[in-house]
Structure 1
């Protein structure tokens, strides 16, 4: 029977020893992958601690779920389906990832252990580059000295000659036809043609160039990690043969400085898979590796579909009526009543 500590050992093996082994790794400041993430929003910094975040190392594990970001939906699904451990790619923070309540209380309710990896998993395999049609000849997971600022420079694979080839390759690997059928089925079931969904809405897109534009050497970037137009100029000077910028995981709009810089440098610019697809790019290889190392444990993939529905069509008629009544009686009117009370008190005080 596998235990939580066996899962940790497997993750440490997968990452080449990058997991936290004890609290000294967290507080000493010497562990390369214990990284504080902060954009100086007061009180919202997060410390990445790859490995076991919460759980009893001696607890038994029969079923593992691999997910991208821990949410209350993940925890509830785990509790309802007998999952003993969740491996989250992204870092986990108290309350932020556990429905606004303390982590030990919520996870303890269902006996679920939680692990995280994130930066400790990055750079371990060439899969994201492969899916996007190139083989990396250079990789950096902290370009410019910025932790997590990942950069690949790659040569286009055989058969990938144009930007259109990259778009077609992404559609094939990510099953975009299936995603579109899923969306059409949901629209039909809910009787609302205005529903939109993340994977369909964020497919590959060409921002500079055409489907016929040729591709040879690709600068593959991830804009949300802090990659800037200045960084792009530096990479281009080092790899002058690069003809294409490919942004994936996160995306940019056509008026972004990165796009302008690429155009200035005479390069194509294409947007690849969004962050919503990383569960397949990174999550699935991790899940299969765990299954190989822990064959006695069942491993499942937690996938989330995020949709946007017009408010007038969201939910059932009963829940819409309920929501209108609550909003009117307890939220909108209360705000107006509070304002009147403040005004009355001000008049009395005068």
Structure 2
């Protein structure tokens, strides 16, 4: 059955997002210049010219533009822009902050986005801490959340207690696998490997599974600290959090990863704590994107909402199965990029 949908506009989308975020969106540009909105923050590693200002609001487009189809995604890329064009989307709502050229194929937004009539809205820090989904998927009920732990915007720390049915570290690992549908991604990867003839093909979600780095599958779980290493969370922060919550028996990190020899893991082992690496960043489109998309659909039932999930794969050059493109790549490299250049430089 075909559903008749009427149109709304970009302003209505912003108003819906402002409702979802409890008033955190930039509705007037004066909020950016005056510093009155605490969710307008600068992210920088102090690399000249590479900082970005997060502005939870309309980044590009006309507030009066009519909207019938909305896309929800994580990180704006040229692939997402091209897919949005093919699907005739009117506005993209993306989680992560966007920057000229970096998120638009190396060119300014003004040269690219008008080709497809696309408006761009970003959220990021304005969306953090609004729902308990990430902790739910990792098996615990959050009791407290600090979205600026240590005074760093976006440095999120959850203090939680395990659900009644989650008694061990193994229960958490099993729960993550079941909720995230890893068997579907596994079947898809195996099919793609067979179709492409690339047995060494890897995919971001499956190559970064949940792992137990301290403790055993039978280690009991009750009091949980859950944080995200890429947000600026330091060893000092962890020690401070453990002092605040000495009952902690389990540490969960997710979205970003740490390895077996990381200082976080060493500290957990010294203190006899269980340490679990949960979901990777590649599934945040499910964790944060899906609830946001459904919320928009509920508030704007006259629009169609599309979830945009990018899938990242990798394959060694020697295993690429498309013979014609292998021929093309080698010929271009040899004839135009390497010929006449002394190879001794690279040996």
- Regarding TM over 0.5, the answer is yes
Equivalents in 2 of 1:153, 1:62: separation in Å? 40
Q: 131-140 or 314-323: which moved more?
A: 314-323
Q: CA RMSD in A?
A: 1.2
Counterpart check, 1:328 vs 2:343: no
Equivalents in 1 of 2:156, 2:46: separation in Å? 21
Residue in structure 1 matched with residue 228 of structure 2 by the alignment? 222
> 1:98 Cα shift?
0.3
Q: 324-333 or 90-99: which moved more?
A: 324-333
- State the SS of the aligned residue for 2:279: strand
Identify unmatched segments of 5+ residues in structure 2: 1-6
Question: TM-score scaled to structure 2, two decimals?
Answer: 0.95
Residue in structure 1 matched with residue 288 of structure 2 by the alignment? 282
Counterpart check, 1:161 vs 2:167: yes
Equivalents in 2 of 1:216, 1:334: separation in Å? 65
Counterpart check, 1:173 vs 2:179: yes
Check the 8 A contact 2:143/2:158 in 1, yes or no. Answer: yes
Equivalents in 2 of 1:211, 1:198: separation in Å? 24
Counterpart check, 1:16 vs 2:22: yes
Residue in structure 1 matched with residue 217 of structure 2 by the alignment? 211
Aligned residue pair count:
338
Equivalents in 2 of 1:140, 1:58: separation in Å? 36
2:320 corresponds, among 306, 314, 324, to: 314
- State the SS of the aligned residue for 1:291: helix
Check the 8 A contact 2:199/2:319 in 1, yes or no. Answer: no
Residue in structure 2 matched with residue 126 of structure 1 by the alignment? 132
Residue in structure 2 matched with residue 184 of structure 1 by the alignment? 190
- State the SS of the aligned residue for 1:86: strand
> 1:105 Cα shift?
1.5
Residue in structure 2 matched with residue 7 of structure 1 by the alignment? 13
Counterpart check, 1:302 vs 2:308: yes
Equivalents in 2 of 1:147, 1:334: separation in Å? 51
Identify unmatched segments of 5+ residues in structure 1: 340-350
Matches within 5 A, 1:81-120: 81-120=87-126
Question: TM-score scaled to structure 1, two decimals?
Answer: 0.95
2:208 corresponds, among 187, 202, 207, to: 202
> 1:315 Cα shift?
5.7
> 1:334 Cα shift?
4.7
- State the SS of the aligned residue for 1:266: coil
Equivalents in 2 of 1:233, 1:75: separation in Å? 42
> 1:301 Cα shift?
0.5
Equivalents in 2 of 1:264, 1:108: separation in Å? 56
Equivalents in 1 of 2:36, 2:84: separation in Å? 34
> 1:54 Cα shift?
0.4
> 1:335 Cα shift?
3.6
Deviations 1:218-265 (A, max 9, x none): 110100001111111111111111001100000100100111112222
1:26 corresponds, among 9, 25, 32, to: 32
Check the 8 A contact 1:232/1:261 in 2, yes or no. Answer: no
Matches within 5 A, 1:263-282: 263-282=269-288
- State the SS of the aligned residue for 2:25: coil
